[in-house]
Amino acid sequence: MVERDSSVAAVVLLAAGSGTRMKSSTSKLLHPLCGKSLLSWALGAAEGVAPEKLVVVVGHLKEQVEAHLKEVAPHALTAVQETQDGTGHAVRCAMETIEGVTGDIVVTYGDVPMLTGETLRRLVGVHRRAGNAVTVMTSILDNPTGYGRILRSGNDITGIVEERDADDAQKAIKETNSGIYIFDATILRDGLAQLKPDNDQNQLYLTDVVGYAVHNGHKVGAYIETDRWQTEGINDRAQLSAMTAELNRRIVTGWMLEGVTIIDPATTWIEAGVSIDQDVVLWPGTILCGATSIASGAVIGPDTRLTDVEVGAGASVVRSEAILAVIGEDANVGPFSYLRPGTTLGREGKIGAYVETKNAQIGDDAKVPHLTYCGDAVIGAGTNIGAGTIFANYDGTTKSVTTVGRNAFVGSQSVLVAPVHIGDDAFVAAGSALTGDVAEGELAVARGRQRNIAGWVTAFRDRTRGKKAASPAPTQGEGTSTSTDKE
């Protein structure tokens, strides 16, 4: 919960940039990072200061961004920056949307995903305790190349100089501008009104509002953020990859500190929405996505990806993929299984090697051990499905359901042509192609009777590959050499 004294009048989130270096038809802000879009991460940080108004400035590919906002932050207001005329111009567009707002206004960016609400609350606290009109979030960088430098007089900021305009002494300054600010609304509004494009880019810079505040005798201070990742933006896919790795490292470390055993953190990927209980073991190559939850004692991996999957206590999933599935307590999945959406595996159930399931409800202690397609099926507790069984659920037009009762047995290489119902304790003979129901306790045999024809290979060997194998061994003198021949 956000403390009341951390709330602000508004947050302006700048999300209008073209993002050309991403080289993508998708808005840069919609690219995913650990399970959430860049914009979603930025919105989460903004909500950390409980703004009365949240304004997102859109521009490039605005239709994509606006559609995404309706999904993740429908309460957000949007302001359109039709032309990319600088950060000052973007904030001016936002202020027109919230005309008349008074109080503190935070300005941040849609492409700074590791910024947290906690950090913004600290920024607000520093701003208010110091009585600043403007507070700039800054970073100390060993290599500040490319960043605007902070000019100071004691604890007060006297200006911000862009690198292209800095002299050698200013370029040696290591304190840099993050571009994240908190302004008194009146100072911000007045400063924006004074902006002019007096620079080689012919744009309106928000940094000039800082200069306006200093020039008019208002106090400008700084909040130094020591975690440089929180002020880093993303401009291309290489930076996105680097930040994904860093955020994943933090997520993985956090779970280890919560009591999860992760054998190889470098090859384990966990998205932000995942929930894991204590005493879970994750083997190398594990990828956990979406809203996946894993209960205590479960063992996942190696080489497994789960997306929106619920895994019960003590379950095991090995070298498999599952999507929108439920795996019960002490159940076993894999290796090389594929659980598609709608799969539910009961307590102590088994889905084994090279099995694909879809919309399948598999009861407690039921087993689909290997080499089976199980789609649109309901399988009762204690039932065993033999190797190579196919649940033929699609007739070319309609998908239908097959139900198998409790403690039933389906022999290997059977085909169950839906819709059929197999009763409790029923048996289906191996190799059957079943098109009708089987009542409780019955044995179903749906295959041709075996017929062996003696001497057939010999009689027809000229037409078969078995000719050589079936031919009698040649006698002496019929194409064979003898010791007499050699003498």
Q: pLDDT tens for residues 73-112?
A: 999 999 999 998 999 999 999 999 999 999 999 999 999 9
- Residue at 483 is within a domain: no
Residue 463 has a pLDDT of 60
**Same domain flag for 186 and 71:** yes
Residues 213 and 293 in one domain: no
Whether 162 and 96 map to the same domain: the answer is yes
Q: How far is CA 314 from CA 66, 126, 288, 400, in A?
A: 43, 48, 17, 33
Q: What is the pTM of this model?
A: 0.89
258 and 178 housed in the same domain: no
Residues 405 and 262 in one domain: yes
Give me the pLDDT at residue 469, please. Answer: 56
CB count within 10 Å of CB 15 equals 29
Is the same domain home to 185 and 247? Answer: no
Task: Say how many C-beta atoms besides its own lie within 10 A of residue 154's C-beta.
Answer: 6
Q: Do 48 and 148 fall within a single domain?
A: yes
Residues 75 and 202 in one domain: yes
If asked whether residues 210 and 259 sit together in one domain, one would say: no
- Regarding whether 114 and 161 lie in a shared domain, the answer is yes
Alpha-carbon distance of 109 to 256, in angstroms, equals: 31
pLDDT for res 487: 33
What ranges make up the beta strands (E) of 233-331?
261-262, 269-270, 275-276, 281-282, 286-289, 293-294, 299-300, 304-307, 310-311, 316-317, 321-323, 326-327
Domains of the chain: total: 2
- 132 — phi, psi (to 5°)? -80, 150
DSSP 89-103: HHHHHHHHHTTT--S
pLDDT at 481: 44
- The residue range of the domain holding 196 is 4-231
Distance CA(464)–CA(70), nearest Å, equals 69
Mean pLDDT estimate for the chain:
93
Asked if residue 471 is part of any domain, the answer here is no
With a cut of 70, which residues of the chain have pLDDT below it?
1-4, 461-487
Q: Which residues pair with 374 in a beta bridge?
A: 357
Any domain includes 456: no
In a domain, 222, yes or no: yes
N-terminal to C-terminal alpha carbon distance within the chain: 106
Selecting among 60, 127, 370, 421, the annotated active-site residue is: 370
DSSP label at residue 272: T
Residues 225 and 117 in one domain: yes
Residue holding tokens 């001016």? 92
CB count within 10 Å of CB 212 equals 20
Residue 370 appears among annotated catalytic residues: yes
Same domain, 298 and 168: no
Q: 487 lies in a domain?
A: no
Tokens encoding 461:
């060997």
The pLDDT score that the predictor gives to residue 388 is 97
